[in-house]
């Protein structure tokens, strides 16, 4: 357990490595000849921490783009087969553990392809049902024995540790956003999140419950992917989705199903605020979406909905 008064050092931004289909082809041919006849093509929106490639129609190769992101590979290989049978929705379970080779320096994985489209507000058929289903998944994850699970660290960018890890980023964003948003209200919300106490009980968390990692079929939640930031610690980071994706009614149902106490809810709001402030300080579509989420955070803080 990382104590609340210990603030980890995030370190510099990882230097990202470009990964192409030709490299993946060589790795597959060298290490997994049983799949040598399967075509390799990039997955649309294949991710940042990892580059993802279709391997035929039913498999996917997932390759970290930096040494820091590669730290999650062993964790996923070890723990996802343990978590999967205990969860109510499918998650990726590795089929093969690739090693460095073909001028690629990191371990990597092959998974089955989980079909579905990424969640988005306009794609969710029933926002309250979606929220309840998601909360049920997270409740099941939190109920899994956490004693030997991976504590927060560089392998998951310190998700599950103290929110103060991200205080420098939040402060820089607030400075950049002065005059563009209500920074006084944002600072009040941020301070309340930093002051909210955690009981110190380690539980499993996903670490990045975001729209792109929640898959839909016919508008319903059918799978949860990308466990690179998972671990055991403070689960408040997983409640950030209540503001970034859910409706007001969905948010209420989510909180009730997950039985979130006031302090955890405040910390979760802080996680959502940190991510949103950083995005809002940028430009383009990401900043516009962040402004929408900020509106959700501000309105819920003021009214409780």
Element (H, E) at 170: helix 167-176
CA dist., res. 68 & res. 16, Å (int) = 10
Say if residue 3's pLDDT is above 60: no
CA dist., res. 233 & res. 103, Å (int) = 36
Given this model, what pLDDT does residue 2 score?
A: 41
CB-CB contact of 41 with 21 (8 Å): yes
CA dist., res. 231 & res. 8, Å (int) = 15
Cβ of 6: how many Cβ atoms within 10 Å? Answer: 11
CB-CB contact of 281 with 212 (8 Å): no
Q: Please name which of 137, 270, 272, 299 lies closest in space to residue 197, comparing C-alpha atoms.
A: 270
CATH fold of 118-303, please?
A: Aminoglycoside 3'-phosphotransferase; Chain: A, domain 2 (3.90.1200)
Superfamily of domain 21-113: Phosphorylase Kinase; domain 1 (3.30.200.20)
Quick: pLDDT tens for 124-181: 999 999 999 999 999 999 999 999 999 999 999 999 999 999 999 999 999 999 999 9
pTM comes to 0.94
Residues listed for the chain: 305
Quick: pLDDT tens for 248-305: 999 999 999 999 999 999 999 999 999 999 999 987 778 889 999 999 999 999 998 7
The one-character DSSP state at 177 is T
Quick: pLDDT tens for 46-56: 778 999 999 99
Q: Please name which of 145, 1, 156 lies closest in space to residue 74, comparing C-alpha atoms.
A: 156
**SS3 label, residue 234:** coil
Domain boundaries for CATH 3.90.1200.10 within the chain: 118-303
CA dist., res. 163 & res. 11, Å (int) = 15
Phi, psi of 231 (to 5 degrees): 170, -165
Long-range contacts of 285-293 (CB under 8 A, 24+ apart): 291/181, 293/243, 293/244
The one-character DSSP state at 12 is S
Domain boundaries for CATH 3.30.200.20 within the chain: 21-113
Cβ of 48: how many Cβ atoms within 10 Å? Answer: 11
Residue 113 banded pLDDT, cuts 50, 70, 90:
very high
């Amino acid at each position: 357990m990382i104590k609340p008064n210990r603030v980890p050092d995030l370190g510099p931004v990882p230097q990202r490595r470009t990964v192409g289909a030709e490299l993946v082809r060589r790795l597959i041919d060298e290490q997994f000849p049983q799949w040598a006849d399967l075509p390799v093509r990039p997955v649309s929106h294949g991710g940042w921490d990892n580059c993802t490639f279709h391997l035929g129609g039913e498999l996917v190769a997932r390759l970290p783009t930096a040494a820091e992101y590669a730290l999650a590979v062993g964790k996923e290989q070890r723990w996802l087969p343990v978590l999967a049978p205990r969860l109510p929705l499918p998650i990726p379970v590795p089929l093969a553990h690739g090693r460095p080779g073909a001028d690629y320096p990191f371990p990597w994985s092959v998974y089955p392809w989980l079909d579905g489209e990424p969640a988005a507000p306009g794609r969710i058929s029933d926002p309250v049902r979606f929220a309840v289903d998601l909360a049920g998944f997270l409740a099941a994850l939190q109920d899994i024995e956490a004693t030997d699970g991976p504590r927060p660290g560089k392998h998951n960018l310190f998700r599950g540790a103290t929110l103060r890890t991200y205080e420098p980023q939040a402060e820089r964003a607030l400075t950049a956003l002065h005059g563009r948003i209500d920074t006084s209200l944002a600072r009040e919300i941020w301070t309340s999140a930093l002051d909210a106490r955690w009981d110190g009980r380690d539980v499993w968390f996903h670490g990045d419950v975001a729209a792109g990692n929640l898959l839909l079929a016919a508008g319903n939640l059918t799978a949860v992917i990308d466990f690179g930031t998972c671990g055991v610690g403070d689960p408040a980071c997983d409640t950030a989705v209540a503001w970034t994706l859910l409706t007001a009614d969905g948010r209420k149902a989510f909180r009730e199903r997950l039985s979130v106490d006031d302090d955890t809810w405040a910390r979760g709001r802080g996680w959502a605020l940190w991510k949103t402030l950083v995005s809002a300080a940028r430009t383009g579509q990401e900043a516009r979406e962040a402004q929408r989420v900020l509106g959700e955070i501000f309105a819920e803080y003021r009214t409780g909905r």
